[in-house]
Chain A
């Protein structure tokens, strides 16, 4: 039995198409995801070199210095939240002319200045403006410029409100602008950032989890090949092995365990790549994620066992069926983009029972549960569904495999 197990592992790992589809393909797909999502996540913002015109107008604008600190990611008040974003790399100058000179020398991408009325403005170089409007540019300048404009507009509005309040207060209370300024400043603190989950959610993590789900189901092929090669009615090699003095159940058990192990290894490799190269978190529960991989590979191997046990189908046809199941399951788990993810969410809201029939979705949910929920209860629930699913597959396969003699070979 031991040599059968070792041999099955060797056969699975030496089959080139297996190695590509089960090991290389998930890594390639995850790498593509990194490329696709990098322009959309927070990391896509590129800081721009901005000259700060600190002239007399600038000195009259309250909180302008604080704004520059915030934009340059040096606001100590927000540092501990980990939510700071660097939009600019500031370079102080004393006049607009100096700022324009820097822009002309391409030592700055633009400049921030204050008007006589106390509002702030932003000017950008022609190069940066062109880059920002270029749809195929990879610099992400458009995101940065949009964010800068938005922040400065909000700042100007806040300052205008503060002035109005200060005027009212001066008239009504006789005490100057300090109250209004305080009110204005405090308006920023009316909302605070609280996470509802134990870990900061990553909107793109779901895609990687769906990818893991698909990779998991693709690994059914290990079990399909192993079972096909061990059954007398499925292959000449199976017939040859069946006449050996080793019980059918020992051979099947060895094939199942070997397929499970190889499936586990292939998923583990994909998970480690996604976790440590793509930077997708498992919610700080990496240990449980490995348990999830073991459970996931169990359901994949059981499903492969069942498909592999189907008589009258060639091995190629069975692999085709397994690929189709993995791809269709991945569609409804949201792997193929925003539209698929919307379908996935719609099913979750309207017919959640449908997801219970989709092993790709269940595997995907295992990792999702670990990341998003404080409690292990959802994870355990999904685990139960998967184990039940695996047991059903395995039971059905045993019914097909229990024969020792066949009417036809």
Chain B
């Protein structure tokens, strides 16, 4: 992928504040120089009788990639739509770059880019025309727009497809076009709502790299996804939400420390006695232990000597061991631990 947007990073960073007054958001001297890009306080939102957001709080710092995780129906997209002043809400306050966000906050809107969950494009326009149209909503000057469109096309690697219409693009290419339309005007704040749904690993990797380049160029990113590994890969801080509430907030490691779950240990063995399995289950750090005749799987609590103590017990009991795997807890474990394993719609 080209570095057209990231190439502006040295000139543009830190994130501007007064870009709202000009047509090029990431330029100029910041006037609203607090650390907060998005501030949501006590947001309450109902869909009919269903509570969608329950006194929800959110603070996204400037220059970070903030991950918003949650099961289906947890309220992620509702939060984004409230931030964008598309949805009404019953209580709470939302500000972006320290200013209240309303439907007519055009200065703020000029600094925001959105990559929606569904691919929202004109099927009758070509790739280039689509990007140019969305750019025109922010940048009136044709010459400036032409340059930005070229850079956006290059950023998402669609140079060979500029004359294609969206219907002729693969799912991954359409997603990349969706992104280009959202970031073409070089916003200070970009909201990505599950941008990698149904794309292949190569496209996903390209998208994630692009988001990191946006961050490097000074943009703040709010990123929602179901894919834990990609959130863990790119996000500075992560919030897990469910039922319209904040469940946990922190870095990936901080989140892992919040749960009782430690590593998962797998030991290959063919002669584990039932008595030995019972003694393993009785160890204080063991949460769960299962044996299927070939492998012993042990789920542990946090502890520094879990693996050593388990191996000592196996050696003492005369159990022969083959391969040995120890996996630290993943964000997926944290997510399932905090939100439960019940199926969601």
Contact = CB atoms under 8 A, between A and B. Distances in A.
Contact of A7 (B87, B103, B104, B125): B125
Most buried by B among A11, A229, A243, A408: A243
A123 interface: no
A312 to B, nearest CB: 14
B326 interface: no
A242 interface: yes
A404 B118 CA distance: 21
B124 A11 contact: yes
B202 interface: no
B125 A240 contact: no
Interface size for chain B: under 10, 10 to 19, 20 to 34, or 35 or more residues? 20 to 34
Nearest to A244: B137
A409 B116 CA distance: 13
A41 to B, nearest CB: 42
Contacts of A247: 104, 106
A10 interface: yes
Contacts of A241: 137
Contacts of A237: 120-122
B136 interface: yes
B291 interface: no
A239 interface: yes
Nearest to B82: A405
Interface string A217-238: 0000000000001001001110
B57 interface: no
B138 A244 contact: yes
Contacts of A408: 47, 87
A245 B88 contact: no
Contacts of B104: 247, 404
A3 to B, nearest CB: 4
A276 interface: no
A236 B103 contact: no
B114 interface: yes
Interface string B118-142: 1111101100010011101110000
A405 B109 contact: no
Interface in B210-240: none
B198 interface: no
A236 B133 CA distance: 16
Nearest to B110: A245
Interface in A242-269: 242-248
B310 interface: no
Contact of B81 (A7, A245, A409): A409
A404 B81 CA distance: 12
B86 interface: yes
A406 B137 contact: no
Contact of A245 (B107, B116, B181): B107
Most buried by A among B81, B86, B122: B86
A384 B116 CA distance: 45
Contact of A11 (B109, B125, B136, B137): B125
A246 B81 CA distance: 17
A240 B114 contact: yes
B137 A405 contact: no
B84 interface: yes
Given A405-B86, A406-B88, A409-B81, A245 B106 contact: yes
A7 B132 CA distance: 10
Given A3-B136, A236-B118, A245-B137, A407 B47 contact: yes
Contacts of B133: 3-4, 7
Given A10-B124, A406-B87, A244 B109 contact: yes
- Ranked nearest first, the 10 interchain pairs of A and B with the lowest CB-CB distance are A244-B137, A404-B103, A3-B136, A245-B106, A14-B124, A245-B109, A236-B120, A240-B120, A237-B120, A245-B110
23 contacts: A3-B136, A4-B136, A7-B122, A10-B124, A14-B125, A15-B124, A235-B120, A236-B119, A237-B122, A239-B86, A240-B120, A240-B181, A241-B137, A243-B109, A245-B109, A245-B138, A246-B137, A404-B103, A405-B86, A407-B47, A407-B87, A409-B81, A409-B87
Interface of A: 3-4, 7, 10-11, 14-15, 229, 232, 235-237, 239-248, 404-409
